[in-house]
Amino acid sequence: MEEIITLISFVILVAFLMFIDLKVGKTQHHVMTLKSAALWTIFWIGAGVLFGFSLLLWGHHIHSIHSIEDLSFIIKKHHHLININGLAFDEALKLYRQNLTVEYFTGYFIEKSLSLDNIFVWLIIFMSFNVPEKYYKDILFWGIVGAVVFRFIFIFGLSSLLTAFEWVLFIFAAILLYTGIKMIFKKKDNGEKEKEKYQNHFIVRQFSKFRHFYPDYDRGFFFKKGGFIFVTGSFLVLCIVEFIDIIFAIDSIPAIFAITADPYIIYFSNILQF
């Protein structure tokens, strides 16, 4: 029960932080300044770091640990690399929380470094579709909302799979190896080739066939006209941003599972690194 409460509380916390980002620092339909972008980056990094250190105080509540037996079970279940043999419960709990914090920050900084690729690709997408800068924030905001939902399904689904079939870890290892080799030997495309690739994307081709498609960005994601609902260029770009995030998640999340098998820590670090 405490696991569910922790998860719901975390989602509420993230929703609150995103509300502050969207409303208090509202820059929708205005180009965000460099100073404003820097301040909001500091805000989100600060939130992620504070959350990580807070695990030192309450991390054991995630899995309702109330005895040494509970702790031993969780350590074994999630493959935490700590030894509590011979330790009193309070000492073992302290060691567990410290390890949890280290795992969180390891996952957080790995995801943070890998997310630099996302930023580059998002920029290419926006440029290739001539999205005005004042709409970037709105599209990315809802892209992150989608990522919060998808990554929950992906991370907890994979965790359940690992619990049932530990050999799935070898598949993760193969994905990581393939990704590493691809990064080493990948030829850098110039900007024009990248733009061409996204404009010929499957999603783009499908939207082009849609009769009620409005290609501009000044009407939100949907609007109603003449009894028909039209989807806009903003929604098209949002779909592509979401699709790209899914691809990056398939590449990056296995790397975090190599650090910890605790899906809650993986999810927390994944979401707060945005």
Say which residues have a Cβ less than 8 Å from residue 163's Cβ, sequence separation at least 6. Answer: 77
Domain that holds residue 249: 2-272
Residue type, 37: A
Query: What's residue 178's pLDDT?
Result: 64
pLDDT at 29: 53
Q: Which residue has 């609902």 as its token pair?
A: 229
Rounded-to-integer distance, Cα 218 and Cα 92, Å: 57
Q: Tens place of pLDDT for every residue, the chain, 274 residues?
A: 778 899 999 999 998 888 887 776 555 456 667 777 788 889 999 999 999 999 999 999 999 899 999 999 999 988 898 999 999 999 999 999 999 999 999 999 988 887 777 788 888 888 878 888 888 888 888 888 898 899 999 899 888 877 666 666 666 666 656 656 665 665 555 445 545 555 565 666 666 666 677 777 777 788 888 778 888 888 888 988 888 888 888 777 877 888 888 999 999 999 998 7
Query: What is the spatial distance between Cα 225 and Cα 129, in angstroms, rounded to a whole number?
Result: 24
What pLDDT score does 36 carry? 78
Q: Give the dihedral of Cα atoms 184, 169, 157, 111; nearest 10 deg.
A: -40
Q: Which of 2, 38, 50, 80 is nearest to 259 (CA)?
A: 80
**Count of domains forming the chain:** 1
Beta bridge partners of 228: 225
